[in-house]
Amino acid sequence: MTDVFADMTADSLAAVGESAVYTPTGGSGQAVDVVLSDDVDSVGSELGVNDYGTTIDIARSAVEQPAHGDTVEITDSDSPYHGTTFTVHEAVWRDQYVTRVSVMP
């Protein structure tokens, strides 16, 4: 049975997000749609120190468990980040449909 909400999440990311290639460490790349946010306050800050960083939201139907060291290359030619490859640092939030990861260029 198809999860309608998972399909809607993937469709929403495709509509508002950016095209990218997600590559797990030691694996092959796959096309995904992501939402990239920069200047996010307190990304992965375990000590309660204000920190600014970049996050990427990925549909869990596309990538179930993003891991430290995996990469996301932005391929959307309209994006100011076109051609930039980000390295996943850690998952900072997830629900059953989306995982938000902190990344470093």
pLDDT, tens digit, for every residue of 69-92? 999 999 999 999 999 999 999 998
Query: What is the model's pLDDT at position 11?
Result: 76
| pLDDT average, residue stretch 40-67 | 75
- Residue-range domains of the chain with CATH: 4-104 (2.40.10)
Q: Say yes or no to pLDDT of 39 above 50.
A: yes
Q: In this structure, are residues 103 and 87 in contact, taking their beta carbons and an 8 Å threshold?
A: yes
Q: Which residue has the higher pLDDT, 4 or 87?
A: 87
Q: Which residues contact 94 (CB under 8 A, 6 or more apart)?
A: 60, 100
Torsion over CA of 64, 67, 69 and 72, rounded to 10 degrees? 30
* Residues 6+ positions from 102 with CB-CB distance below 8 Å: 43, 44, 53, 54, 55, 88, 89, 90, 92
The verdict on pTM exceeding 0.85 is no
